[in-house]
Every structure is written in structure tokens, then in C-alpha cells.
Chain A
């Protein structure tokens, strides 16, 4: 078994109007090489589920400025001025979800759970039109789970079977997204042979991963830089 593919094969998996889960908290833990490639495709109507829409002109920002995104689902878009402008012009739909609710909704989506009750956002504008329920004397709101057609995620190392380990805070949303989409494609710093990863340290088991792509990025100072 070898799940490694060339970045040139990515187009086989991404189509118009798909819902795509994209890992990362800003650029940290974001599949930058994959997103560079997606930005080259002639596609549209994507629904993107990600904490925010890229950072410093990298990652999802490139996909967004190509006009490929119809709707963004996430927790923090304020820092992306172009996205705010597009939303104001009615060119971009935004669904705002508290960060913890977003993470849990994706976790549930991958775990076969339809939704959950949370106390986060009770009594706020984000609880409008949501089912309320009192449990053990406390108010909760119902939040539906989230799944995607494709997940594009980032890890540090993969073996050829797709077992993954992560690096520092670049883990963030990636392990949940790995479980919550029909097709899961991971970008990694290093691909090793089966058996080389210590099973005690594997965070995402291979069963969740369909394809592995080698990153084209290296780290320089506090930035990710594409090595050409």
C-alpha cells in the first residue's frame, strides 16, 4: 500500500460545489501546497469549512481571491478584509460558529453523531433559531455535526499507509477533519515507510487517510516559504 500521490493528481478529487474541510489555524497547520494547487483549478461554488480564510495572503486566501468560494463556515473572518468586503457585497456567504462548537461539530461528523447540545453561545445572537433545551438545570443549544466531501489537512509525518503525527500547535483542526470527509488528502513534511512510526505516538490512524502529498514548503523564521 502506498497512498502517496503527486500534486498533479489532486484535480481528480476536487470539483465544483463541493464542501471542503480545510485544516489550519491561520497558516499554522494549513495544507499550503495543496491550496496553491486548488487555486489554479477552474472551479467554483465551493463551501469551505475552516477556522478562517487563510493568513498573510497564503493558503485559503489564494483560493478565495480566485472567486472559487461560495460559502465560508468558520469562527474568525474579521481579519480577512477582502472576505469581509465580499460578504458586504453579497458575494460570499458566511456562517459564523464559535471555535469550540466548530471543532466539536467536525468531531461529531466524523464519529457518526448527528449533533450535540452545548452551553456555548446560549443567550447570544449566534443562538438565534437554534433548538434550546434544559439539561440538568442548565440551558443548552443544539448544534448539528459537520461533514465534508473532501478534507484537505496538514500533518508533520505520514507513513505510506497514512498513519499521521503532527507538530506542535499545527495539529489544531486537522485530526477531526481527517475523520469527517469522504476523501481525505494530507500534506506532510516527510513520508516514511510502514513500521517506522511508533504506534504510541500516532495521532491519526491510517484508516482515515486516502492520499498523501509531499509539501513544497519549508519554514524560515516565523514564515512558511515555498521552496521552488
Chain B
């Protein structure tokens, strides 16, 4: 496992959560890497600009088409069984609870699982895209992010200091060292890996953590 970068460790762990025929929306960044670790699992990727059944980027140059792009505006392909629709239908699908899993990145997440993933601090707030719709509407919300920022500070914090993405809480937080869930009792560690110990995790995060997993 040490061969993998932290981004890949996160993506691989998220992939374990997905089941055959799940309808999944992957946010930009680490979430898009999840497709590399799906193995034989057959999932249907939804992209909010109007496609259910998104395939990988085209390999053959003649398959590149500027009319067929993902939410990051990069060329993609369709898989058999795909469907195309307009933006209002796409967000009815998202907001209406028809997407099984949304996997999103975040800048911060609080002790209850509320996330801040759209407004970069100290910069004008001029972009939100589909983030808030996905937070509000997906059946299951998985947050995939590095636990520690570049300065070593924990993204898992007591209270958000950046702008919230909505009241709905994450169902699962997957990081490079552990996976967490949230409930009234507190923050639960449901998986721990990548050479991290419970004690070190508690110390670096600086918040009470409940250990729900047996460490080998």
C-alpha cells in the first residue's frame, strides 16, 4: 500500500464502498480517481451536465468530441446503457434522491460531518457549480479528502471556519489514514490504515475519536 500516493489510497478505499449498478456522481479531484480502482464492479457514473453512463476519456483521437464532456469540461465517452438529458432533469435526479452515491472533495469537515467544499477562503466567492445540489440530494454522501492540509493542520475540525456547503452531513469521510462516520455519540473511526496508529490520529486531529475497528 505504501507504493500508492495518498490520493490513490483514498480513491481505492472509496471504491470499496461502491456496489454493482450503483449510480454515482464523482466530484473533481480525488473523487475522479475512484474509477481507477473499481475492478470488475459495474457502476453507472452520472455527470451533472447531462449524462448517466459516462465512460472513460477517449483513447482514439477520432472519438474526441467537444459535444460530449464531463462536469470538468473534458472529453469523455458513453458506455452501453447510457442516457442523455438536460440540466433540469439532471438536477431533479440529484436533488430528488435518485443518485445512490455522491463522492465529493472538501476543504473542511466538522465533528458532525458538515462540509465546506465550495468557497476558497480569502478569495471572491464566485463559483458553486453543482456542489450544494449534490450535498443536499444524494442518497449517500462520501467525502474523499486528505485528512491533513499542506501545513499539517487537520481538515477534520470542531467547527467550520470556511463557508458551509449545506446542512446535510457526510455519511462517510475517507482520508489517507482512516475512514470516519459521524453520529450523536461523536466521530467514529471505522477503518485505519497506511501505518497510522489510533494514538497518533487522536493527537494530530486534536478531537475525541471513537475507535470502532480492531487494529491488527
Contacts and interface: CB of A to CB of B under 8 A. Distances in A.
B100 interface: no
Given A100-B94, A169-B67, A120 B132 contact: yes
B164 interface: yes
Interface residues of A, number: 56
B27 interface: no
A172 B130 contact: no
Contacts of B90: 100, 103
B64 A120 contact: no
A88 interface: yes
B91 A99 contact: yes
Contacts of A29: 67
A122 B136 contact: yes
- For the residues of B in contact with A, the DSSP-based class is loop
Contacts, number: 160
Interface stretch (A3-11, A20-28, A41-49, A59-67): A20-28
Interface string A9-43: 00000000000000001111100000000000000
Contacts of B163: 124-125
Nearest to B51: A169
A212 interface: no
Given A84-B126, A119-B137, A124-B166, A169 B94 contact: no
- For the residues of A in contact with B, the DSSP-based class is mixed
Residue among B51, B75, B85, B86 with the most chain A CB within 10 A? B86
B19 interface: no
Contact of A26 (B65, B69, B95, B124): B69
B67 A104 contact: no
A103 B73 CA distance: 18
Residue among B87, B92, B167 with the most chain A CB within 10 A? B87
Contacts of B91: 99-101, 103-104
A71 interface: no
Contact of B67 (A97, A121, A170): A170
Given A29-B67, A100-B48, 13 more contacts: A26-B73, A76-B128, A87-B124, A88-B124, A96-B128, A99-B48, A99-B129, A103-B90, A139-B167, A167-B67, A169-B69, A171-B50, A173-B87
Interface of A: 25-29, 51, 55, 75-79, 83-84, 87-88, 94, 96-104, 106-107, 118-126, 139, 156, 166-176, 203, 219, 221-224
- Going nearest first, the 8 A-B pairs with the smallest beta carbon separation are A100-B91, A78-B127, A100-B133, A123-B167, A103-B87, A168-B68, A170-B67, A77-B126
Interface of B: 47-51, 61, 64-69, 73, 75, 78, 84-88, 90-92, 94-95, 119, 124-133, 136-137, 163-168
